[in-house]
């Protein structure tokens, strides 16, 4: 299995994602063999009333992070689609930046199951936990 570099991931992100996802200013922190860590900076554009990052932005970040974890697991970027995503919000998402740590748990012939932990810089205090299934097309 070939390893995906952060540069390759950044190029894929720039060339493949919708403008509204790119407007979140997602950056790729790390790509492993079956995992990926992404981050977004604090932005009033992503906040809801009260200054918390809105749930829609949290879920979009989680879904995007899973794309890179699945690609890392597959050894390259493949066509895929999200099949299921269950999000549990654990506490308010307030702070300077949010991190999404995605990892593949199980890979089948066409279905990949994974999870994403989202936190505000302290992984021991997650703000949300996501489980997801992705179908390879």
Range 117-120, long-range pairs (CB < 8 A, 24+ positions): 118/58, 118/61, 118/62, 118/93, 120/93, 120/94, 120/95, 120/96
CB 13 within 8 Å of CB 63: no
Low-confidence spans in the chain with pLDDT less than 50 = none
Q: Does some domain include residue 110?
A: yes
Q: Does some domain include residue 95?
A: yes
Q: Does some domain include residue 47?
A: yes
pTM: 0.94
Query: Rounded to whole angstroms, what are the CA distances from 19 to 15, 23, 26, 36?
Result: 10, 6, 12, 21
Q: Does some domain include residue 1?
A: no
Give the per-residue pLDDT at 65: 98
Report the domain count for the chain.
1
Q: Does some domain include residue 109?
A: yes
CATH number at residue 68: 3.10.129.10
SS3 of 73, please?
helix
Residue 96, CB-side half-sphere exposure with 13 Å CA sphere: 2
Q: Does some domain include residue 116?
A: yes
Q: Does some domain include residue 100?
A: yes
Q: Of 119, 24, 28, 98, nearest to 66 (Cα)? A: 28
Domain that holds residue 128: 6-136
CB 127 within 8 Å of CB 91: yes
Give the per-residue pLDDT at 50: 81
Give the per-residue pLDDT at 113: 98
Model confidence over 82-94: pLDDT tens digits?
999 999 999 999 8
Q: Does some domain include residue 125?
A: yes
d(CA 72, CA 84) in angstroms, rounded, equals 20
């Amino acid at each position: 299995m070939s390893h995906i570099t952060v540069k390759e991931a950044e190029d894929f992100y720039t060339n493949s994602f919708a403008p509204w996802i790119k407007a979140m200013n997602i950056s790729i922190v790390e790509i492993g063999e079956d995992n990926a860590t992404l981050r977004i900076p604090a932005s009033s554009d992503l906040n809801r009333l009260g200054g918390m990052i809105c749930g829609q932005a949290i879920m979009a970040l989680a879904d995007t992070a899973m794309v890179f974890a699945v690609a890392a697991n597959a050894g390259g970027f493949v066509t895929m689609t999200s099949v299921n995503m269950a999000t549990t919000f654990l506490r308010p998402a307030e702070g300077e930046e949010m991190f999404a740590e995605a990892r593949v748990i199980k890979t089948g012939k066409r279905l990949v199951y994974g999870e994403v932990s989202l936190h505000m810089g302290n992984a021991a205090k997650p703000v949300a936990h996501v489980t997801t299934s992705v179908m390879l097309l």
